Structure 1
Amino acid sequence: MNTKRVTAAEQVLHAARVQGRVTAAGLACALESAQLLQSPESAAELARLLNLLGELSTDNAVADELCRALEERATRAEARVAALETERHQTNAALSDAAEALRADRDRIAELEAERSRPAPVLNPVMGPGQQRLAERTMAELEATHYRRLGLNPPSVEDPHDSLLHHTYRLGHDLPEIPHA
């Protein structure tokens, strides 16, 4: 066991937890970012090269070649890690944009469904605007009188603009035409 690597991994994991990463994937990303994770193949190759370096430490030419090979491998690994980090940032940005678009679409769908579920306004083509308001007021007064006779408080009268009966007096396209006499 290499205590330096264990201590380094411990510090990286502690820092990741302080940052709020508690899932296994988050902790693994922290270790990968700190370049503390290796594939079994690269770990085996590194061990082989270190053993070879230990055996050949007396021969400077072989040691120099091994050092160059290790430095080259480390440079390639660092470049790969940098490329993966850039790709992760781009993926996170794209995912964030897509999630925002989905939220906006969901909100818009909810608005449209709410509009569709509202009841259509009642339209009496025989009455004019003044007659319609008078009929609404008369019905409200009759209902209030009925409630009082039963000893109940009548419901409050709605503002005519908020009423379910309020409309713009335009005929819809789906209504039959009224013949003019």
Structure 2
Amino acid sequence: MEKGKLIFVSGGVRSGKSSFAEEMAIEWGEQHALKLNYIACGVPSDREMYDRISRHQQNRSSAPLPWKTWEYPYELYRISSQFSKQDILVLDCVTTLVNNYLFEKNMVDPNEVIKCILRDIFSLQEAAAGLIVVSNEVNQEIPSQTTLTGKYQSILGNVHQNIVSQAGGAYLVENGIPIQKKGAVG
């Protein structure tokens, strides 16, 4: 089976990266008559997270095409059989996925976490017409000296590099402005 198109979108907190990814998916969906799917990894653990999830759901409900939302905190490969080459997927977000493997699944081996996340992402890419992967950019800062934070940054950096190496396009969103870092312009 031919792999679907893969796009990576990163940026800081509240940079506009999720909105950019959703707009890209809608445009793609309209151009190619694809069904929109949103894979949400966030687990509402507090009021702020619940409000953020609700806001994202509201934004998608007013889109020109309908979205189907899949709420999965980890093991995304398990739902890949639900998609076809008629689907465009937005995965939001890799940083939450790392958190979920580390803290919900209690995984301690960084290499195992990386392996699981890449299996999730590449199985989704294989199944769908396209996958837009969203992640927070936390590796532009000084590496942390604390064990847990340093481990997290290392995992995330490795995952990002693996995704981007396979992606046809990569964007960094700053202040709502997407900056193309990889892929043909136009």
Task: Name the TM tier (shorter chain).
Answer: under 0.3
Question: Between Structure 1 and Structure 2, whose CA radius of gyration is higher?
Answer: 1
TM-score where L is the length of structure 2 = 0.23
